[in-house]
Amino acid sequence: DIQMTQTTSSLSASLGDRVTISCSASQGISNYLNWYQQKQDGTVKLLIYYTSSVQLGVPSRFSGSGSGTDYSLTISNLEPEDIATYYCQQYSKLPWTFGGGTKLEIK
Amino acid sequence: EVQLQQSGTVLARPGASVKMSCKASGYTFTSYWMHWVKQRPGQGLEWIGTIYPGNSDTSYNQKFKGKAKLTAVTSTSTAYMELSSLTNEDSAVYYCTREKRGFAYWGQGTLVTVST
């Protein structure tokens, strides 16, 4: 199985900050990488698909980048509603696998 | 509007089986793969498997083969997952989620608690 590693399990930032969350795959995944946001109530939302495509309805302050084994999600101008846990997920090879999550908190 | 409505909280005994549902609406049920994802308390997300309701084709994470069984009833646009031989490790929230360039639509989750 492809292991997805989010080395930062929690991150504290101030409102208005630019935040970058990283994700690394155990082998190349050819940009088949999605990002999700999970709120405290359990609600899950797709933010970014295929590394850098922003899902319809997602604010433009969210962006994604990366290639090969290393990927990142950037939130520019952090807002209160961005407080959540963020997960990367690869769909290059079955079984689809998720990173362990990065919990974003307000400083 | 695509909606996935999952069945409610389940309390089950060790060794028992449970079957949960995911009722889809707002799209053609038979045309999209439905996936199931597990989340243990305080833990991350884990892909269990998927079913294509159009022909009942399935694909499972090897880890869940023998544990989970995915089915779908097209007449009611409902996907089901049955978990067997429950242990404490099966206590989790289970989500159904539909693909569209990623898991674009999610149910609200079904909490399964395994306890004596």
| Interchain contact B101–A (C-beta under 8 A) | yes
Tell me: the pLDDT tens digits for B1-55? 999 999 999 999 999 999 999 999 999 999 999 999 999 999 999 999 999 999 9
> How much is the average pLDDT of B64-90?
98
Q: Rounded to a whole number, what is the distance in Å from the CA of A79 to chain B's nearest CA?
A: 22
- Report yes or no: A5 and A21 within 8 Å, Cβ to Cβ: no
How many angstroms separate the CA atoms of B109 and A1, rounded?
A: 25
> Would you give per-residue pLDDT tens digits along chain A (107 residues)?
999 999 999 999 999 999 999 999 999 999 999 999 999 999 999 999 999 999 999 999 999 999 999 999 999 999 999 999 999 999 999 999 999 999 999 98
Q: Mapped to the 3 state alphabet, what secondary structure does B79-105 carry?
A: EEEEECCCCHHHCEEEEEEEECCCEEE
Q: What is the mean pLDDT of chain B?
A: 97
Residue B53 · residue B4 · CB < 8 Å: no
C-alpha to C-alpha distance for B40 and B104, rounded to whole angstroms = 21
**Chains A–B, number of C-beta pairs less than 8 Å apart:** 54
Distance from CA of A76 to the nearest CA of B (A): 22
Numbered residues of chain A with Cβ closer than 8 Å to any chain B Cβ = 34, 36, 38, 42-46, 49-50, 53, 55, 87, 89, 91, 94-101
Among chain A residues, CA nearest to B102? A49
Q: What single-letter DSSP state applies at residue A96?
A: P
